[in-house]
Amino acid sequence: MHRGVLIALAAIGLVLAAGCAGGSVAASGRPTRAPANGISSARIPLATRTPSPASCPGKGSLQGNLYSFYMKHNVPETMFYATAVQQEGAPTVILVGPQLEKGDIQSTSDSNADVRLNCVPPRNYYLVVWAPYSWDPAVNSPTDQSLLEISVRANQVTQLGTIYLAWP
The one-letter amino acid at 28: S
Average pLDDT, the chain: 74
Helix (H) or strand (E) holding 12: helix 3-21
Quote the CA–CA distance of 126 and 42 in Å, as a whole number: 27
- 90-135 pLDDT tens trace: 666 667 889 999 899 999 999 999 999 999 999 999 999 999 888 9
Enclosing domain of residue 34: 3-165
Q: pTM of this prediction?
A: 0.68
Between CA 70 and CA 73, with CA 43 as vertex, the angle to 5 degrees is 10
Tell me the pLDDT band of 48, cut-offs 50, 70 and 90.
very low
- Among candidate residues 118, 121, 110, 151, the one with its CA nearest the CA of residue 51: 118
Report the number of distinct structural domains present in the chain. Answer: 1
CATH of the domain at 100: 2.60.40.10
